[in-house]
Chain A
Amino acid sequence: MGSRVEILNDGGYRSDGRRQFELRDITINLAQQGQADGSAVITHGLTQVLVSVFGPREAKMRSQTIHDRANINVEVNVAAFSTGERRKRSRGDKRILEIGSTIKSTFEPVVQTTLYPRSQIDVYITVLQQDGGLLQACINGTTLALTNAGIPMADFVCAVTGGVHSTSALLDLTTLEENDVPHVTVAMMPKTGKVALVTMETRLHVERFEEIFRLAGEAGKVLHKEMKKAVMGRTSTLVNAMGSRGSGVDRDGDEQMNEL
């Protein structure tokens, strides 16, 4: 165990220089991506996912239509180059399917699907880089892409991973930490304070759970501010571009959308 990295050292720093309750750097790009109706690229540290949303549109297959609401279809694709070891994952990979279905069930109650009966909303997630917190990045990215596509939702869904190293809680884990530390991913809705998803694959002591759960909820609120700012920035760019006093200033690093 000698050469292993210390998860949390005596000075209270984690292996990447963060403290216990510091989240990784987050960047959000809401620019138009190809044909998608809404898309988002979100980066948590070195984890990056691209989410594209199509719809609501007519379902391709009649069998998949639901008569009173829209069907959400989530497909996850992990790029072969996303991890250090180049590895091609087939679409039928159970882990990937699981992430997809987790996201689907997270968003079904949040998206106002009843407004679009007999239609389908397609969410395509491409994982570009992985360094821990894959699910949280996918969920946050999906929230942003859906918002960007103008699909009505009850609230934002903000997800954060929390873990516990011996007795001290950590937030937003990297791969290194995820391998070593039991962790929970919590997706919450900041306005109502409701929890959309709690998922855990490792064993965590019952008594630690409460603290982690609470902290991850708090962290969700912090993330919400960041995500809201990005959405507001993007929207005001678009509004400015459409309106008369369009300054054309690119506020969010987005491409200029003068043709709109």
Chain B
Amino acid sequence: MEKITIRKRPRSEAVITQRKFFKKTARGKVIKVLRERYLRDDVACGIQNCIACHSSLDSTLPVAGAPHPLFPDGHFVLPDTNVFLSQMDLVESPLFAPPIILLQTVMEEVRHRSLPLYNRLKALTKMDEKKIWVFYNEYRSETAIIREENETPNDRNDRGIRKATEWYNTHLQVTRPPIRGQPPPKIPTVVLMTEDAANRQKAEKAGMSGISVKKYVENLPEANQLLDLLSATGSDEIEPTRAAGIRQPLYPEYLPTATLIAGVKAGELHQGHFNANQYNYLEGNVPVPGFNKPVLLIGRENMNRAVNGDIVVVEVFGESEWKAPGDEVVDQDTTLKNDDVEGSEDEANESDDEVTARESRLTKSEETVRAIEKQPTGRVVGIIKRNWRAYVCHIDSTSLSSQNATSLAQQTVFATPVSRLLPRIRLRTRQAPTLIGQKILVTIDRWDVNSRYPEGHFVRALGKVESKEAEQESLLLEFDVRYRPFGKAILECLPPEGEQWVVPPKSDASPDWRDREDLRQLLICSIDPPACQDIDDALHARSLPNGNIEAGVHIADVSHFVHADTAMDKEAADRGTTVYLVDKRIDMLPALLGTNLCSLRPFVERLAFSAIWELTPDAEIVNVRFTKSVIASKAAFTYEEAQIRKDDPNQKDDLTQSIRLLNALAKKLKEKRMKAGALNLASPEVKIQLDSSESSDPIDVEQKELRETNSLVEEFMLLANISVAQKIQETFPQTAVLRRHLPPPKTNFEKLQDILLKRKGLRLDVSSSGALADSLDKCLDPQEPAFNTLVRIMATRCMLSAEYFCSGSVPRDTFGHYGLASPIYTHFTSPIRRYADVLAHRQLSASIGYTSLHPSLHSKSHVERVMDVINRRHRMAQMAGRASVEFYVGLALKGRNEREGKGGVREEAFVIRTFRNGLSVFVSKLGIEGLVMFKRDTKFDAENYTITVPGATSRSEGVTVAVFDKVVVNIEVEKDKNTQRGKVKMTLVSPVDSSGL
């Protein structure tokens, strides 16, 4: 029983217990705010066995502190805010493990300055390995302070931090009084760790010990590894920056934040996400609400130090200066090959000019651009928010100054990010020689006006380039996939029986059987891809006496095991989705649930959530009901097995009949859906054939085959999702978890329409999804069956991506799913691998009155927040999956190269885009896209999307290649000599051999 008390706040202390400030509202009104604060004496210090603060059992700080060469009696670290703001990577490193006292003041300041850092910090405090104690100094009577007259908030916080340090030191002394007859106890020191020299001085003046991060780390035994983790931002005061100071600024300064905000408000400036161009490192764009087309940024100065993903503010030039996006491929590596890292020597200045000149040549655009292609053009004038994270990079070996392979001297090198969207990062490290040929993680610290490149610091090494582990981890990191094993708290949420868990025998008393329908006798089967372990759906169908058909979709009852507001639920919400890589699956839920207890395996009883329809033979829904159930699947088919069984006229058993029944219904459902205007989209999907499950060496790549049974399962899943969406939207109009696909803006299709018209004489009608579906069907080339698929792929790219949303946060008329042509849609059918489905399960379960809905699912803001996370994770997971396929395709190509001898692989490809100096081609057989570059002059016709390549010999006639043309390319995998970065290189073989060009 909780004790209810009244806290007393002495009136005489109103000065420190009451706070008054004035606040200006958005409307410009000034409001006086009065807040009170209750100071207490029971805020624990967090040191184990402390005699004064006996309350806390969960104290994390060891009695004796930790050893450090500078503090023989042991110490605790009390870091200042700037330590977390600039050196988070150091604090996160497992090698850095002193006991840390984290002040509330510091926590709040970090939160104020950067939310992502705050979240990282919060995660740290929860980790068992880290000894961090959060001390609520603002609530403890001895350490609470008030802001003095003319004191800046920053100074006030610094003073608060010093005061807390002082209190801790006296607290330690008071609680460990010397006992007569015994040697005086060793009293550990509480050290104020700060990068702010002034703060340090003040602390030392008051008799406390203060230390900078660098000095602290230098004296640790693991200094060599830890020093690299130090971010460059902190290095300013320690060592004066190189000659950089006197150099000409390369970039314009940013405008002050207040000006930016005012400008955006007034409509003079525009705010948006910065997207780098993957083909041209000197170009980027910013989609802003003010214009139909994104704002184009050409050249380094105009991009002004923006990095992909940053939220920037742009100024748009007058219309006369608007330009069209470049039509040339500009590769950062080749252009800047010889740029010097230090960039401070005299000669470097020369090379600077050279680089600038080269670049300006590249950014110079043709005067004869068609007006239609012109885009609003502008420049970045400020950054609202940096979205910097850790990037996977390679060290550029040419940038190494010392050839001595064992030198531990600090030197500056270039790190080239794996992603083409990012600039090279300048990095200072002592381990350069050992890092060559490795994949490493690098964080950007800052980007000054006089530095061409951003500066960063090394976080950790991932492993050798091309080793599968390193590639895999780098891929996961690059797409921000949570891949760590599940923690103890999460595993404790699993049923204690573990593998032995079974559905208990049926009885009214059993809680597992409460309100569950017994569907064990039904002929239920599952149809999945081969070797599928997480089976989350199963189906059945049977004829009813009245001539109608009963069809059921049974989904794994994940919400029975994953309850809201548990550690497992939080982790699943954070992971959002299971990520499928070619050779690995990163689960959203622990494997015990995903592949065993929830998985609807055959021949065992499993809990399920069933949707059961009564359909007429014409697949009209008579009624639908949802129920929790217990099922026993009778068979787990692969798509192929099910297909064979269905097509075999000799098979006349009930199970086969039910598959046939389902198939007949699915055909009708599909027909109806198509009539309603659903799109049949295509994406390049290939399958990697692995040698064996252990070696995971790819043997070959083949295209995925689609069978009738694929569509069978798909139709019923769609039906279930739509039915569930209607139900939960009805019951929870404010917070239902739904999925929608907005119709794409017409302008997205302009280019594709233009190409199709000019090259093939085909028209694409994009007025509605139905019209688009029809006109896509007509995009046929009698000679080329693959052409239609290609157009579909390109059309898909013009569309927006589908997203999860909370039904109360968008207008009702935007609920529709464009691709499926359904007015409402959700995800319900794969709760093992998608978190949205788990939420949909909970809501459906509440709407049929099985359980009550957890309060968090009543809160719109909470649902919105979760949706944001899972939308992002979903996108990232897709990209990670694709990147993994790409990597394996590369490996497979390499393997094929080696087997078949030199010369690379020849494949047919379609041209999908023409550049001034190259082609972008799509190899449908391998599902990859590649660039063919021409070094020699070519004639480029932007109007007609053609490029004329001179013949192999200088005499022969040039050959014209256009978009949609079929060509043959030679594909090789080659490594960049400097960075060891693997690259797919394509050269044209037919109609003209471009290897010499």
Nearest opposing residue in chain A for B20, CB measure: A84
Asked whether B112 is an interface residue with its Cβ less than 8 Å from the other chain, the reply is yes
Question: Does A255 have its Cβ within 8 Å of any Cβ on chain B?
Answer: no
* A21 and B6 contacting across the interface, CB-CB below 8 Å: no
- For B856, the chain A residues whose CB sits under 8 A away are 166
| A84-B38 in contact (CB<8A) | no
Task: A191 to B827: give the CA distance in the assembly, Å.
Answer: 54
Complex contact A10–B4 (CB within 8 A): no
A69 within 8 A of B: no
A45 in contact (CB, < 8 A): yes
The residues of A that contact B18 with a CB separation of less than 8 Å are 46
A21 close to B9 (CB less than 8 A) = no
Q: Which residues of B contact A22 (CB under 8 A)?
A: 4-7, 38
Most B CB contacts (10 A, CB to CB) among A13, A18, A21, A84 go to A84
Interface residues of B in 1-49 (CB under 8 A from A): 2-9, 11, 18, 23, 29, 31-40
Whether a CB of chain B sits under 8 angstroms from the CB of A167 is yes
Is B111 located at the chain interface by the 8 A CB criterion? yes
For chain A, the bracket of interface size reads 35 or more
Contact pattern, A 191-232, Cβ under 8 Å of B = 1, otherwise 0:
000000000000101111000000100110011001000000
Beyond A16-B37, A17-B139, A167-B565, is A222–B5 a contact (Cβ under 8 Å)? yes
Contact indicator per residue, chain A 1-35, by CB within 8 Å of chain B (1) or not (0): 11100000111010111101111111100000000
Report if B125 contacts A (CB, 8 A): yes
Q: Cβ of A188 < 8 Å from any Cβ of B?
A: no
Known: A205-B855, A222-B5. A84 touches B33 (CB 8 A): yes
- Write out the residue numbers on chain A whose beta carbons fall within 8 Å of the beta carbon of B29: 85
Q: Contact between A23 and B4 (Cβ–Cβ < 8 Å)? A: yes
The 8 Å CB contact of A11, one of B5, B134, B855, is B134
Q: Residue among B36, B122, B858 with the most chain A CB within 10 A? A: B36
B9 x A25 contact (CB < 8 A)? yes
- Asked whether any CB of chain B lies closer than 8 Å to the CB of A173, the reply is no
Residue B136 CB within 8 A of the other chain: yes
Determine the residue in chain A with the shortest Cβ distance to B122. Answer: A10
Give Cα distance in the complex from A147 to B136, angstroms: 42
Contacts between the two chains (Cβ within 8 Å), count = 97
Q: Give Cα distance in the complex from A207 to B122, angstroms.
A: 30
B40 contacts across to A, CB distance below 8 A: 17
- Which residues of chain A from 153 to 196 have a CB within 8 Å of any chain B CB? 164, 166-167, 171, 174, 176
B195 an interface residue at 8 Å Cβ cutoff? Answer: no
* Contact status A17-B852, CB under 8 Å: no
**How long is the Cα–Cα vector from A129 to B861 in the complex, in angstroms?**
31
Contact among B7, B104, B138, B565 for A18, CB-based, below 8 A: B7
Selected contact of A24 from candidates B7, B32, B39, B115, CB within 8 Å: B7
Report chain A residues within 8 Å CB of B8.
Answer: 25
Q: Verify A16–B36 contact, CB threshold 8 A.
A: yes
Q: Which of B35, B115, B138 is within 8 Å of A2, CB to CB?
A: B115
> In the complex, what distance in Å separates the CA atom of A28 from the CA atom of B360?
78
Interface string of B846-877 (1 = CB under 8 A from A): 00000010011010010000000000000000
Q: Are B855 and A167 in contact (CB under 8 A)?
A: yes
Minimum CB–CB distance for B271 against chain A, Å: 17
Are B38 and A17 touching (Cβ within 8 A)? Answer: yes
- Chain A residues contacting B9 (CB-CB under 8 Å) are 24-25, 45
Once the chains bind, are A218 and B139 in contact (CB under 8 Å)? no
Determine the distance from Cα of A131 to Cα of B9 in the docked complex, in whole angstroms: 15
Contact between chains at B33 and A16 (CB < 8 Å) = no
Q: Is the CB of B39 within 8 A of A23?
A: no
Shortest Cβ distance from B7 into A: residue: A22
Besides A24-B36, A215-B2, 15 more A-B contacts (Cβ < 8 Å) are A3-B112, A10-B134, A11-B104, A11-B134, A17-B136, A21-B2, A24-B7, A24-B38, A46-B35, A46-B36, A84-B23, A84-B31, A131-B34, A167-B855, A207-B855
- Interface of A with B (CB < 8 Å)? 1-3, 9-11, 13, 15-18, 20-27, 45-46, 84-85, 129, 131, 164, 166-167, 171, 174, 176, 203, 205-208, 215, 218-219, 222-223, 226
29 pairs of residues in contact across A and B, judged by CB atoms under 8 Å: A2-B111, A2-B112, A16-B35, A16-B38, A17-B40, A17-B136, A18-B7, A21-B2, A21-B3, A21-B4, A22-B4, A22-B38, A23-B4, A23-B7, A24-B6, A25-B6, A25-B7, A27-B11, A45-B36, A84-B23, A84-B31, A85-B29, A85-B31, A129-B34, A131-B36, A166-B565, A206-B852, A207-B852, A222-B6
- For the complex of A and B, 8 pairs with smallest distance between CB atoms: A25-B9, A17-B139, A17-B38, A84-B31, A205-B855, A84-B32, A23-B6, A22-B7
B residues at A contact (CB < 8 Å): 2-9, 11, 18, 23, 29, 31-40, 104, 111-112, 115, 122, 125, 134, 136, 138-139, 565, 852, 855-856, 858, 861
